[in-house]
Amino acid sequence: MKNRKFYIIILGIILAVIGSSFILNNTASQEKLKIKAFYPEAQKIKLVKDIADDTFVSLNLPAVKRAYEVDGVIKAFVVSCVGYVGPIEVLAALDDESDELKGIEILNHNETVGYAEHIEENWFLERFKGIGANKYLNLVVLDKEKPEDIIQVTGATVSSQAVVNAVNAAIGAYQYKVRGIEMEKVSDVVSQEIWENDVNSFVINWDGGSQRIDTKKLKDFEQLDMSVVLINTTGTKTPMKVKGPSLRNILEKQGLDLSKFEGVGITGRDGYYTMIDREKLEANEVILVWEVDGKELKEEEKPVRVALPNEMGPYWVKMVSSVDLYEQISPKEIDKVYMFDALTGDIEPYYYEYYGSKDKSIEIGKILNKFDFVDEKGFFTMGASDGLIKNETISIVRQRYFIKVDGKNAPMNIAPNFKLGMNVKEMTHFSTTKDAVIFPKSMEKVVRTKEIQGQQGLLLEDVLITSGMIWEEDIALNVVNIDGSETVLDLKELSNYYITYRDKNVYLFHKDTQLMKKVLRIEKR
């Protein structure tokens, strides 16, 4: 009987070994086919045994799992680094003649849908082709300044860094095994600094104080449990049932009254920011959600996310790290309304690559420099043709913030931390406290129009009001040309003034009579 049990155990071990060998061989076969695509002329591709057990590799390059010889030289590596959700497995192919990367392929990952799945897109993978393999790669947010720089996927810093770490491990292993060079250690996990704040708490800041809220304690507050619909600016509608306390209730427990504040700024761990003004605060409950559809938030959405039932997606901030309460916001008193093309014609455009599309863009910081005065306590407000109004702090839009003026959904705000669908698309205008800038083509969709000389004429009165300008009867309104010449508007005839847009120039009409071409701005005097 004992002998029988012994033989059964031995048989089990043998079958396990055979099974493991089969899985390994099958995996190797699949990987060889992918490697062959990088080296179509290769005669022999061979798995290198036990490379992960090499002392130097295991201690300094733990991401390296397998390596392959291509015609006798180790040129391909399978490497795995921990991303936002779990391991990201990468195949890296190198050229021993040029000492360059031939390219990479993402073999497996479980990263967040809507964010990091873009690491599989060709426009991201192409960034690794032809880069020297004698230096480690460096992840950058926006501008590529050095040959070894890799621009991250917008809104997916952790996943992008994990891919870069994996490729760096492949470079390190290649240099060690082929060139005999020992490079620095490469971790198989993304550093804590990349993650920024923790996923278990968020902070509420106000003038004179702050309070960190542990997510475990959120359940102690009165809970809102309701069905809502998230509508992104792409038009996608996502019904969900959310649960969590209101911001109002949390503040009451801290001895604070939400109605006393002019606005609330909410920032995510990924750097995304939105501002909810008093009007929206009065019309909505800001729900700090910890449960969606009966399940606690996913790791990539923690510590909490915002639900604002009557507003669009840009207000529904995920992974909230801080809530800032504003006691005072400088009011808007728009004195000048500019035409975008005339205002920015002398600004060198930046061709911003955003989710694989490289489009002409204008840096907002350079636009702000053209204004006489920008109140840093005021807000940068953007309006869209679908009715969305979004506010940002001036400090945020001064840094790496652009208006995309070509391509799909233009004009549209873009920035390194903006996930697609959280933008203000088909922007009609934007403004500071004193100055507004309009996009006539988008403005056509939200103001009264009539045909003038074969062009769409926009009622100037509607344009100014939509931009935020208000005026008294004793105020003069001047239209200023790009050459400095002016035309004074008759306020009694304001309902008869129109503007048209053609060849990036704005024309002023009174009824059907052209008064001015190449309009720069309308201003109060």
Preceding amide of 147 cis, omega within 30: no
Is pLDDT above 70 for 7? no
Q: Which helix (H) or strand (E) holds 245?
A: none
Is pLDDT above 90 for 457? yes
Nearest by Cα to 503 from 333, 373, 341: 341
- Structural domains of the chain, ranges and CATH numbers in brackets: 37-193 (no CATH), 201-326 (3.90.420.10), 336-524 (no CATH)
Q: What is the pLDDT of residues 56-95, one digit of tens each?
A: 998 899 999 999 999 999 999 999 988 776 789 999 999 9
The pLDDT assigned to 356 comes to 84
Is pLDDT above 70 for 1? no
DSSP string, 324-384: EEES--PPP---EEEEHHHHHTTSPPEEEEETTEEEEEEEHHHHHTTSS---TTSEEEEEE
**What is the rounded distance in angstroms from the CA atom of residue 176 to the CA atom of residue 170?**
10
Within 39-116, residue ranges assigned H as helices are 55-60
Q: What is the pLDDT of residues 140-175, one digit of tens each?
A: 877 788 999 988 887 677 888 889 999 999 999 999
* pLDDT band, residue 197 (cuts 50/70/90): very low
pTM of the model: 0.71
**What is the rounded distance in angstroms from the CA atom of residue 173 to the CA atom of residue 136?**
11
The pLDDT assigned to 16 comes to 52
Is pLDDT above 80 for 177? yes
Identify the residue with better confidence: 399 or 64: 64
The pLDDT assigned to 26 comes to 65
Calculate what percentage of the chain has a pLDDT beyond 90: 59
Is pLDDT above 90 for 119? no
Q: Copy the structure tokens of residue 407.
A: 């391509």
